[in-house]
Structure 1
Amino acid sequence: MGVQIGSNVKDPERIRERRRQIVEAAVQLFSEKGFHKTTTREIARASGLSNGALYEYVTSKEDILFLVCQHIHQEIFSRLAQTVTTATHGAERLKTAIEGLFDVMHDMQADVLLIYQEAKSLPKLYLTEVLRHEQEIVAWFEQQLRHGVADGTLGISEEQIPLLAQDIVVMGQMWAFRRWALKGISFSQFRELQIRMLMAAASGSTASAEVSAQSGRRGTLQ
């Protein structure tokens, strides 16, 4: 069930609605000012609550940061799950899943960066839960890889699956973390090259080396 944050309010729907308001305000403020420079009073004001009312739904600013991280991971999971609903075989499932990941990371790049910049401020129990959610995304890609191996459309070995799943997630996140270093390349170009390399790796093809060489010649990574 995971870590639960207590509340003095007994109505679950009211808790969900107020926490949604708090999270929306906190995402904006944390992105603009950072976790430490943002006050709970500012979050309360931006979410339309009094400072006293805010503490009916959370007990600390760390609670709010944890809720923000939960919200971001839930949104990523929800969007990823929608990408593979029409895929007919494992390789297609994987490709649409990777495409979905890159699109989500592009759309939510500020949110993803927020998690990695501010999660270190969470208490150990909360941080452990956030990292578990992160690993669940990796495990989901492991599942997509195994679908392709099972139906013969992918050629990766079982021992390679965990590492390639990590590679996929890290490559997706690169646009949020390393976009400043990707000079002269658009998101669509970045997305296409990375997907070709990852799919080649998943199929056991040597084409990944060719794509990597092409990428280097174009000077995409400075």
Structure 2
Amino acid sequence: MTSKDDASLSRKEQILDAAAALFAEKGYYKTTTAEVARSVGVTQPYVFHFFTSKESLYLAVLERAHLRILDAFTTVNAPPEQLAERMGKAFVELLLSHRDEILLVMMSYTTPEPAVRARTRQEFDIIYERVKLRFEQAGLPDAADKASVFIGHGLLIAMSETLDLPHLCRWRDKPSTKF
């Protein structure tokens, strides 16, 4: 890869970071690609060089967050009795390090655009299947139910963070979050 390719890839990541922050702050409809470009210090056509539309930019932000979640859940190593807790900690670490992206993916189904809703359904199904598989491979009984509860807890954390109502889910108050 050339230094020009590296710079281009870096700019693309900067655009994704800026878009995640703006989408999280203002929502899908109130965020413009011009604002994203301005926050990165590039022109709007440069944003369109990487993403053909605001929707494709939003989907790319969601995809990157989805991959982070899958990677976190896949790479956790723990004995079966600690697997859910360690995967939960991995999710919390993601929420702390990539808050905007993770909250966007957790709440993206509220965006009524058909492509966004379809992608969100697909990504959550993949996450559910990955979590269920990890629980099955660990030999945990009722892996499907445990996966549903695990994801439900993650959604509750995201909801409490999004609404700024920490009392809905007191995960920050507990030194060891149980999932």
Q: Shorter-chain TM-score: which interval?
A: 0.7 to 0.9
Tell whether 2:136 aligns with 1:146: yes
Give the C-alpha shift of residue 65 in structure 1: 0.7
Task: For structure 1, list consecutive stretches of 5 or more residues without a partner in the other structure.
Answer: 1-10, 199-222
The CA RMSD over aligned residues, in Å, is 2.9
1:189 partner letter: K
The reply to whether residue 127 of structure 1 matches residue 109 of structure 2 is: no
**Residue 171 and residue 121 in structure 1: after superposition, are their counterparts in 2 closer, same or farther (change >3 A)?**
closer
Question: Residue deviations 1:80-107, cap 9 Å, x none?
Answer: 33322xx3x4334444223322333354
Q: Which residue of 2 aligns with 1:55?
A: 48
User: 1: CA distance between counterparts of 2:135 and 2:171?
Assistant: 27
Alignment CA distance shift 1:145-1:187 (3 Å): same
Which residue of 120, 127, 130 corresponds with 1:137? Answer: 127
Whether the 8 Å CA contact 2:72–2:90 is kept in 1: the answer is yes
Q: For the structure 1 residues 79 and 53, does the alpha-carbon distance in structure 2 shift closer, same or farther, using more than 3 Å as the test?
A: same
Task: Determine which of 19, 24, 30 is the counterpart of 1:37.
Answer: 30
Aligned-partner Cα distance in 2 for 1:147–1:134: 20
Q: Could you say which residue in structure 1 is the equivalent of 2:153?
A: 171
Shift of 1:63: 1.0
| SS of 1:38 mapped into structure 2 | coil
CA distance in 2, matches of 1:186, 1:145: 22
Structure 2 residues without counterparts, runs of 5 or longer = none
Residue aligning to 1:218: none
Q: Is the 8 A contact 1:18 1:57 kept in 2?
A: no
Which whole-Å CA distance do the structure 2 matches of 1:94 and 1:183 have between them?
Answer: 21
SS at match of 2:42: coil
CA 1:38–1:17: 2 relative to 1, 3 Å: same
Match 2:89 to one of 84, 87, 99: 99
Identity level (%): 19
Task: Give the structure 2 partner of residue 187 of structure 1.
Answer: 172
* 3-state DSSP of counterpart to 2:174: helix
Please give the alpha-carbon distance, in whole angstroms, between the structure 2 residues aligned to 1:113 and 1:121: 13
Return the TM-score normalized by structure 1: 0.64
Provide Cα deviations, 1:8-59, integer angstroms capped at 9, x if missing partner. Answer: xxx9767643331211111111122222112211111112221122222212
**Is the 2:70–2:130 Cα contact (8 Å) retained in structure 1?**
no
Q: Tell me how far apart the structure 2 counterparts of residues 172 and 139 of structure 1 sit (CA, whole Å).
A: 15
